[in-house]
Amino acid sequence: MAPPSGLHQSAIPSDFEKPFPALVRSSTVPASLKSHRADPSHLAPEDAYTPISPPRQPGLFDTGLDTRPRHIRRNDTSRSRSRRRKRFQKLLWVKQSYPDNYTDQATFLENLQRNPRVQPYDFWPLVADSTVILQHVCSVIIFIVCFVGIFQERVSPVSVVGWGSFATFLGWLLWDWWMTQEDQTGAGESGDMTRSMRDGRIYREYRPPRRQDSLPGPSLHQPLPNNISTASISSTSNLPSAASSTTNLLQYNHRPNPTPHQHHDNTSHNSTAPKLLTPGHSHSRSVSSVHSATSQNSANSPTSTRGPNHDSDPDSLPNTRAYLRVSTIKSAILIYFTLLGLSPILKSLTRSTSSDSIWAMSFWLLAINIFFFDYSGGTPSHISGPHKTKKMPVASLSTNAALMASTVLASRLPSTGQVFSLTLFSIEVFGLFPVFRSYARHRSWRYHFLLTVLLVLGAGGGVGIILGEAPATSWPWKRGLAGMVIGCLISAVAIGGCSWWLIGMQKYKNEIYGPWDPARPIIISRRHWDDD
């Protein structure tokens, strides 16, 4: 057998014929059962917050050499052969002079890493981030409060939906104003983008058209139409024709909103996709073919709301805005009348079901809504980069669950007007409001804080009022005030306590990485062919 020409002296079969040397007990075995720390291969609690490799006692087998390269390559074969026992090598092809269960102190688990990528949390940023959850929980509570108010006939449904619609209108005005501002500041940028993308056309050809992950423009509002329309399909699925018409209407209702963003997108990106996807709200795959056909039409036909904006340059922005506003109002009216038409059907939807089932069901649906809500808040322009954000596959589940909950709750109500009010209100709360919230958060921290305070006060006050006994003759402001105070206290304690708890639990974090983990391939010229 030809030895490998002096390159590797270790693979000489004579090594294996040496008798196994008598071994001392390795200190990896726990010397006493009391101190588990004596065993460096096992993890001890204190390892959780000391992100270093386990301490290594000098091994009993050390031959006195300090450096232990993994691949020993010495040309002086005669010297090493004269050594009685060679160092242990972590290699399989070498015939070792050690038994198979020999555990080398120096090299065993040398590549183990503990908590290599842990970033410690800070208290106040954590509190600030958790307000997103608080906002959503509060808006759900407000919705429930409104339902209870309507159900117990304390509040007139007209006032609920009136105030809700008024707030929505205000929010829309605010949003529209922000949009106008952004368009004015962003007009120059988009022109630059157009130019730069003209140069980068070759690169663009590599992209499949439906990859929309890295849109540079703020694509916050695009998922909304899909979510809403899906929800209405699911809620009105007993009526195919009505469903399709609702889809249509909702499509038109919300299609105008994203258009200013699409203006950015279309100039900067070759978005031939009829559907616009964002990673935050994943588009719902349950959208029916009717829906997709509709959206295709609306995207492609020049008479649709979106058509004329395709090639508009910054000069035509005011026209676009006005056009958008008109079409938004138009679609709002359309959705209003559709819901009005559907309300009698919804009213009798669950007449044969007992109320207990409805309460339980709506509780679980709202719980699903809270737990599966996409708290990352869409993809704001400054976060979405070339790196892929992790998609939440069940984001539309949240909205669908909430709208279903509102539908079954509305079907408990006795009159058509109440049903209509609650359904419209639920669309405002669960469909439109989250979008506004996440946009306000990315717009300014002050808006976000103000909104949080308002929501907490509203939810606390509402719960306080609702928990009173029979419908009070006068406005129960005392109860409401107490509720607000208690709500503020509870939310402060909850946010602070949970943040503190989470920080306290960080010491239990123990991530283990090592060579056994699947490597993460770094692929630069990634062609987006994978489906997910």
Partner 1 sequence: MAPTYNIAMVSDFFYPQPGGVESHIYQLSTKLMDRGHKVIIITHAYEGRTGVRYLTNGLKVYHVPFLVIFRSATFPTVFSFFPIFRNIVLRERIDIVHGHASLSNFCHEAILHARTMGLRTVFTDHSLFGFADAASILTNKLLKFTLSDVDHVICVSHTCKENTVLRASLDPLMVSVIPNAVVAENFKPLSPSENPSYPPPARPLGPHDIITIVVISRLFYNKGTDLLTAAIPRILENHPNTRFIIAGSGPKSIDLEQMIEQNVLQDRVEMLGPIRHEEVRDVMVRGHIYLHPSLTEAFGTVIVEAASCGLYVVCTQVGGIPEVLPSHMTVFAKPEEDDLVAATGRAIASMRANKVRTELFHAQVREMYSWENVAVRTERVYNGICGAISEGEFYGYYEGDNANNSWSATRGRSGVQSFALIDRLKRYYGCGIWAGKLFCLCVIVDYLLFLFLELWFPREVIDVCPDWPRKKRNDLSRE
Contact 103, 348 (CB under 8 A): no
Assigned token pair, 471? 């419908």
Residues 254, 244: Cα–Cα separation, whole Å: 15
Give the closest residue to 448 by CA, choosing from 165, 180, 130.
130
Q: Does 101 bind partner 1 (CB under 8 A)?
A: yes
Give the closest residue to 361 by CA, choosing from 415, 395, 410.
410
DSSP conformation class of 279 = S
Residue 146 CB partners (closer than 8 Å, separation 6+): 155, 160, 164, 422, 425, 462
Residues 222, 422: Cα–Cα separation, whole Å: 25
Residue 102 or 449: which CB sits closer to partner 1?
Answer: 102
> How near is the Cβ of 391 to partner 1 at its closest, in Å?
17
Contact 243, 177 (CB under 8 A): no
Residues 498 to 527 in contact with partner 1, rule: CB under 8 A = 511-512, 514-527
> How near is the Cβ of 202 to partner 1 at its closest, in Å?
13
Count of other CB atoms within 10 angstroms of residue 232? 28
Binder among 32, 82, 289, 303 for partner 1 (CB under 8 A): 32
Bridge partner residues of 114 (DSSP): 512
Q: Does 118 bind partner 1 (CB under 8 A)?
A: no
Residue 403 CB partners (closer than 8 Å, separation 6+): 231, 232, 234, 235, 426, 427, 430, 431
Residue 201 or 527: which CB sits closer to partner 1?
Answer: 527
Binder among 18, 35, 42, 85 for partner 1 (CB under 8 A): 42
Q: Which helix (H) or strand (E) holds 113?
A: strand 113-114
Length of the chain: 532
Give the closest residue to 145 by CA, choosing from 130, 132, 131, 164.
164
The size of the interface with partner 1 (CB under 8 A), counted in residues, is: 56
> How near is the Cβ of 2 to partner 1 at its closest, in Å?
6
Residue 86 or 479: which CB sits closer to partner 1?
Answer: 86
Residues 134 to 153 in contact with partner 1, rule: CB under 8 A = none
Q: Does 30 bind partner 1 (CB under 8 A)?
A: yes
Residues 68 to 97 in contact with partner 1, rule: CB under 8 A = 70-71, 90-93
Binder among 13, 55, 64, 504 for partner 1 (CB under 8 A): 13
> How near is the Cβ of 66 to partner 1 at its closest, in Å?
22
Binder among 66, 76, 100, 356 for partner 1 (CB under 8 A): 100
Assigned token pair, 270? 């070759």
Binder among 29, 52, 202, 470 for partner 1 (CB under 8 A): 29
> How near is the Cβ of 510 to partner 1 at its closest, in Å?
9
Q: Does 185 bind partner 1 (CB under 8 A)?
A: no
Q: Does 102 bind partner 1 (CB under 8 A)?
A: yes
Binder among 35, 41, 50, 63 for partner 1 (CB under 8 A): 41
Residue 30 or 200: which CB sits closer to partner 1?
Answer: 30
Q: SS3 for 512?
A: strand
* Piece of 104-112, 149-157, 214-222, 436-444 that binds partner 1 (CB under 8 A): 104-112
Contact footprint for partner 1 (CB under 8 A): 1-2, 4-5, 7-8, 11, 13, 20, 22-26, 28-33, 41-42, 70-71, 90-93, 99-103, 107-109, 111-112, 511-512, 514-527, 529-530
